[in-house]
Amino acid sequence: MAFDIEMIKKVYDKMPARVDKARELVGRPLTLSEKILYAHLWEGVPTQKFERGKDYVDFAPDRVACQDATAQMALLQFMHAGKEKSAVPTTVHCDHLIQAKVGAEKDLAVANSQSKEVFDFLSSVTNKYGIGFWKPGSGIIHQILLENYAFPGGMMIGTDSHTVNAGGLGMLAIGVGGADAVDVMSGMAWELKFPKLIGVKLTGKLNGWTAPKDVILRVADILTVKGGTGAIVEYFGEGALSMSATGKGTICNMGAEIGATTSTFGYDDSMRRYLSATGRQDVVDAADKVASYLTADAEVYANPEQYFDQLIEINLSELEPYINGPFTPDRGTPVSKMKEEAAKNDWPIKVEWGLIGSCTNSSYEDMSRAVSIVNQAVELGITPKAEFGINPGSEQIRFTIERDGILEAFEKMGTKVFTNACGPCIGQWDREGADKQEKNTIVHSFNRNFSKRADGNPNTHAFVTSPEMVAALAISGRLDFNPITDTLINDNGEEVKFKPPFGDELPKKGFAVDDPGFQAPAENGSAIEVIVSPTSQRLQLLEPFKPWDGKNITGAKLLIKAFGKCTTDHISMAGPWLRFRGHLDNISNNMLIGAENAFNHKTNWVKNELTGVYGEVPAVQRAYKAAGVPTIVVGDQNYGEGSSREHAAMEPRHLGVMAVLVKSFARIHETNLKKQGMLALTFANEADYDKILEDDTINFLDLVDFAPGKTLTLEFVHKDGSKDLIVANHSYNEQQIEWFKAGSALNLIAAGK
């Protein structure tokens, strides 16, 4: 479980020389992001001035992290790679397969029973390959990473989009698909397009009801869900220095919601305090020796407009609490404007549930600030109007807040304390009455609020806000309640008002835990046998995807033309489907069932061109596959936004989809498609999206000449015999084209190439 101080020291030992050389070569001061990127160049990569947003660069991350839902497929792929042990420190965390329903004890017991086969597989495969295993109930992956493994100036990749949470400790932590993780675990370089840089200058200081959460909610409102695509967001300024490390983690965590590659902060005293409090004074001592390399050069922060591609300034002293939603995390509403916005948009005013937790807001500080509102409600004699639930971020957090009386205070108000796991944040919530699909409002401190995400009900209006605001809104029972200005009537008919929240950044008595839930791997796992039953419904050994035949794809059919927002939740839903994350064929039955068909505006209802009959998307695609007919998927803007789940790429690949043609991609999903040997293409002219008709037959005219920087031409033959030629762009380099030719990147690894 312990952090690897020797590995960290090695990172710091090589950092000064590498950064100094890069600064000299680039000829200007460097941002923090650039320092970490240049310090982690793969051995043998020449130091040069890389062009932001254009040059693909090979990096050497320090560690890999996987959560249980994505780890299944990642480790199944790693088994196929033929390696004896993970080449870098790697951990697997069981946090996704635990459903919230009754409460922690019973819910965890149910999960351990229902998912025993998966947990046993993960326990044995990690034991065999030298990978640390965090058991069910130990906590949420990103909170555990922050508590145990993240360190300033490091680089980590993780098979979850919110890996970026570790930026709260000055790390470059990046969400990827399982195939990327397999590369690094196999001892290979990890490839990334050199990011653009967005600077966020924070002035002033948070006060009153405003929390770190409001910073990222405001940034999301400014940049939208795709405004950070291809960029690292670097926060700095006096406002950044005044925040806690876990508050910084919250801000970095939700950088995934703006599409950012990652987000980070410079090394400072808040990080020193947190590292020391979590038993890592050795890291502080090592980091202090290279402290100037763990933040940007002074000139960068003095004149940021010269060094960032985009600059945003936020005065924390003037920032007010935000409530973002519904249905998208970038629709921001200041609390002072919620009354008029809710009325104008006919949002349900009554709050049914308030939920605190998830990887975004489950720290000690979050819990202590939220409970300060709960305690006030009890003292003021207010009976909460909404139901209330919390998910502690880790067993260490849960144990500590129980010791300090915080859990007891929550429970006095009737709060349901769920397992130390993701729960409702990822759709793992058996919410009573959700099947009725009634229009309602919930508020939560999670990161995402897409339609159906929390409870499966498309009519649940989910709003994202800070833990303290969740507490206030849930207690008041009203979405339009402004705790800064409004009063409530208590159980005695008296008019009462909340005071601003308060809480400790770190526990005064220190953190404590009896059993954190960690299983160390065997020193030598060569004799350990990993068994996957051929009749299992939960796990399935992988078969290699077939290589490209070297010919143009012809006679292809359109599977679906997706309309509007199409996230990875739409392409491969979570919730009850999580149980099939280790069984590619079974989970493929959820492929694109949430995508809206542009021709009839229905979900999971597309035309089978072989029969002329409409059917469910996976069934229609299986019919095409059985008949040997290739297909393509067409999509809108920011296709594949959201979670890093590579199932959204593997399912179409498994069922025979050859290409995805869209207006634009979210970064992780585009990479995942490439890794699985698919064609990820974008319209050279976005208006061509409108030319594609339901009955089209598609021919690739020049795929045989597939090359970097060269467009591809697709012929769309309409039912009446007329044709449209559509030019498609792509971002494949030579190596990525080899992935396509081989059938997948994994096929090349397995072949020793």
- List, in order, residues 6 or more apart from 669 with CB less than 8 Å away: 568, 639, 640, 641, 648, 649
Mean pLDDT estimate for the chain = 96
How long a stretch of residues is the chain?
753
For residues 320 and 210, the answer to whether their CB atoms sit within 8 Å is yes
CA-closest candidate to residue 290, choices 267, 257, 272? 267
Helix, strand, or coil here: 627?
A: coil
- Give the containing element (helix H, strand E) for 726: strand 723-729
Residue corresponding to tokens 């999580």: 578
Instruction: Give dist(CA 744, CA 737) in Å, integer.
Output: 10
CA-closest candidate to residue 245, choices 123, 366, 119, 327? 366
Beta bridge pairs of residue 679: 659
Predicted pLDDT of residue 753? 64
Predicted pLDDT of residue 751? 82
Stretch 437-462: mean pLDDT, rounded?
A: 95
- List, in order, residues 6 or more apart from 153 with CB less than 8 Å away: 11, 12, 15, 35, 36, 39, 170, 171, 267, 287, 290, 293, 294
Helix, strand, or coil here: 676?
A: coil
For residues 243 and 210, the answer to whether their CB atoms sit within 8 Å is no
By percentage, how much of the chain surpasses pLDDT 70? 99
By percentage, how much of the chain surpasses pLDDT 90? 92
Instruction: Give dist(CA 378, CA 373) in Å, integer.
Output: 9
C-alpha distances in Å from residue 48, one per residue of 103, 363, 708, 731: 54, 40, 21, 21
Active-site residue set: 95-96, 160, 448, 643, 645
Query: Could you please report the per-residue DSSP string of 145-176?
Result: HHHHT--TT-EEEESSGGGGGGGGGT-EEEE-
For residue 235, is pLDDT > 70? yes
Stretch 532-545: mean pLDDT, rounded?
A: 93
- Give the containing element (helix H, strand E) for 699: strand 697-700
Stretch 541-553: mean pLDDT, rounded?
A: 95
Stretch 93-116: mean pLDDT, rounded?
A: 95
For residues 598 and 562, the answer to whether their CB atoms sit within 8 Å is yes
- List, in order, residues 6 or more apart from 20 with CB less than 8 Å away: none
Stretch 86-115: mean pLDDT, rounded?
A: 96
Instruction: Give dist(CA 475, CA 453) in Å, integer.
Output: 23
Residue corresponding to tokens 């919620």: 338
Q: What is the pLDDT of residues 347-389, one digit of tens each?
A: 999 999 999 989 999 999 999 999 999 999 999 999 999 999 9
For residues 730 and 679, the answer to whether their CB atoms sit within 8 Å is yes
Instruction: Give dist(CA 596, CA 606) in Å, integer.
Output: 10
Instruction: Give dist(CA 325, CA 268) in Å, integer.
Output: 33
C-alpha distances in Å from residue 725, one per residue of 558, 601, 700: 15, 25, 10
Predicted pLDDT of residue 80? 81
Predicted pLDDT of residue 643? 80
Q: At 297, phi and psi to the nearest 5?
A: -60, 145
Stretch 197-213: mean pLDDT, rounded?
A: 97
CA-closest candidate to residue 326, choices 211, 462, 192, 223? 462
Query: Could you please report the per-residue DSSP string of 396-461?
Result: HHHHHHHHTTHHHHHHHTT-EE--SS-GGGGT-B--TTGGG---EEEEESSS---TTTTTS-TTEE
Find the distance separating the first CA and the last CA of the chain, reported in whole Å: 33
- List, in order, residues 6 or more apart from 74 with CB less than 8 Å away: 66, 159, 178, 179, 181, 182
For residue 1, is pLDDT > 70? no
For residues 741 and 678, the answer to whether their CB atoms sit within 8 Å is no
Query: Could you please report the per-residue DSSP string of 543-605?
Result: -PPPPP-SS---SEEEEEEB-S--BHHHHB--GGGGGGTB-HHHHGGGBTTTSBBTTT--BS-
**For residue 687, what are its two tokens?**
């208006």
Q: pTM of this prediction?
A: 0.89
For residue 2, is pLDDT > 60? no
Instruction: Give dist(CA 91, CA 57) in Å, integer.
Output: 25
- Give the containing element (helix H, strand E) for 252: helix 245-253
